[in-house]
Amino acid sequence: MNNYETVFILNPVLSDVQIEETVKKFENFLIKNGAKMVSKENWGLKKLAYAIQNKKSGFYHLFEFTAPGELVNPYEQEFRREERVMRFLTVKLDKHAIEWAEKRRTRLKAKA
């Protein structure tokens, strides 16, 4: 099992219900295929550095999870099929990135 992190941007014209459905869809895909969710964060509506599909903002979400390596390709294929997703990026975390992510989560919990 490897540690991964996915950041994806959803179309800003979606309703709260549509956003929740889309996020739940990807979370369920991971769990159904044997992944374990470590962390899930909603970063909210953010301004984009450059326009994507003529949009200047998007809803950002972050998933941190552990999964077998062969799950990543079908997972990314689901992102490509979903028209609500404007961009996504999945990266494999090394030991230093895992430590940094744990510190970041600890800081977020302390602020809340």
Measured CA to CA, the distance from residue 33 to residue 7 in angstroms comes to 19
Q: How far is CA 101 from CA 13, 65, 67, in A?
A: 30, 11, 17
With CA atoms as reference, report the closest residue to 64 among 32, 30, 34: 30
**Number of C-beta neighbours around residue 77 at 10 A:** 10
Q: Are 96 and 49 in contact (CB under 8 A)?
A: no
Find where tokens 């490897």 sit: 2
Q: Which residues of the chain have pLDDT under 70?
A: 112
Candidate CATH numbers 3.20.20.70, 3.30.70.60, 1.10.10.60, 3.30.70.260; the one for domain 2-111: 3.30.70.60
Domain ranges for the chain:
2-111
